[in-house]
Structure 1
Amino acid sequence: MIRLARGYINTIDAINYRLGRIVMYGIFVLMGILLWSSISKTFFLPALWTLEVAQFTMVAYYILGGPYSLQLGSNVRMDLLYGEWSLRRKAWTDVITVLFLIFYLGVMVYGAIGSTAYSLGYWGTEPISFFAGLITGTEEIGRLETSPSVWRPWMWPIKTIMIIGLFLMLLQCVSELFKDLLLLKGEPV
């Protein structure tokens, strides 16, 4: 069991580390989009797409970088009491709080799946069966949801990125749970 937990930790940490190292350069993409937005508004006709693309880029940057941030311990924490505790007490606290986070992220993933199904034109109440039907060919994509802005981009690409990011965050939380449990057992992580 310990070997399996270590394998899971190594795999998920490697995936989120590599993805996080790539995604962190998204800030430069965002800066480029906003720079072009400023230039086009100052010297040319304003580009209609820049604000929404900047928002989508920021969402992807934030949501795909979250697991990397959690892995490195860069997330915001209330250190008023936590900073003075022993490693064992911190691990017990983290085990309890990460279980709440795993539940919350599970609800968020399910909601994101439903929202993405809606953006693909599904109006029913079973979004997971809709995606299974897309794979098997029993379901079809309906009228695609678009943004209410003037540019009107499709919403499914950013919603798909949100599913991926939330799912990777969920996997990283399970990895952090395993790390804390190994620490409590006295095993090296």
Structure 2
Amino acid sequence: MPRIITGYVRGIDAMNRFIGRIAMYMIFVLIGVLLWSSVSKVAFTPSLWTLETAQFVMVAYYILGGPYSIQLGSNVRMDLFYGGWSHKTKAWVDAFTVLFLMFYLGILLYGALGSLAYALGYFGMTPLEYFRDLFGALFTGGFDAAAEKIGFLERSSTAWRPMLWPVKTLLTFGIFLMLLQTLAEFFRDIGRIRGVEI
């Protein structure tokens, strides 16, 4: 395999391993939020922020742990026939089926970018152009120029009304990491087909 592909696979694996291992500990944050929710409902006035915070932490836990789960092969698989195949046959099937996952994640990423653009106050139909203009303004004119591109920030419709752009940014970033990891898995499968372990 070319050195650039090997470096890509190792770099993406290392990054997603690091992020995934940090994301594992978010379960304790989730437990703490839910524990506080239970205590506050019994002993104090119930907190408005606990339910949505628990949902946001769960999104972060799930979406940032997803690429690491793909890397470890611990995601759910249908093992009816797959378990008895040779490593090379598995690599051929995985290299083919991962293309469907990459297509799905690409559509999901485009939808996440549209949702993030909406959370930042963009109501048009071309989110990619919006982000190109936003980052162009950030790099040429700084934060003040980028702030002019941001419109009315979306808030949740609950009583707490948190802004939604942070969790949508995290969701978009996690989907992007998953897409990078599936591309690394594709390269790894191509290597296995050629008899090279990356």
Match of 1:177 in 2: 186
Cα distance in structure 1, aligned partners of 2:51 and 2:197: 47
TM-score (ref. length: structure 2): 0.93
TM-score (ref. length: structure 1): 0.97
Letter in 2 for 1:96: F
Match of 2:96 in 1: 96
Deviations 1:109-167 (A, max 9, x none): 01100000001110111111111211223761111111111101111110000110000
CA RMSD of the aligned region, Å? Answer: 1.0
Letter in 2 for 1:178: F
Count of aligned residue pairs for this structure pair: 189
**What fraction of aligned residue pairs are identical, expressed as a percent?**
59
Cα distance in structure 1, aligned partners of 2:187 and 2:193: 10
Cα distance in structure 1, aligned partners of 2:159 and 2:82: 48
Q: Give structure 2 stretches of 5+ with no counterpart.
A: 138-144
- The correspondence of residues 36-75 of structure 1 with structure 2, limited to 5 A, is 36-75=36-75
Match of 2:116 in 1: 116
Match of 2:141 in 1: none
Match of 1:29 in 2: 29
Q: Runs (4+) of structure 1 moved beyond 3 Å?
A: none
Letter in 2 for 1:143: F
Cα distance in structure 1, aligned partners of 2:99 and 2:167: 27
Q: Does 1:166 align with 2:175?
A: yes
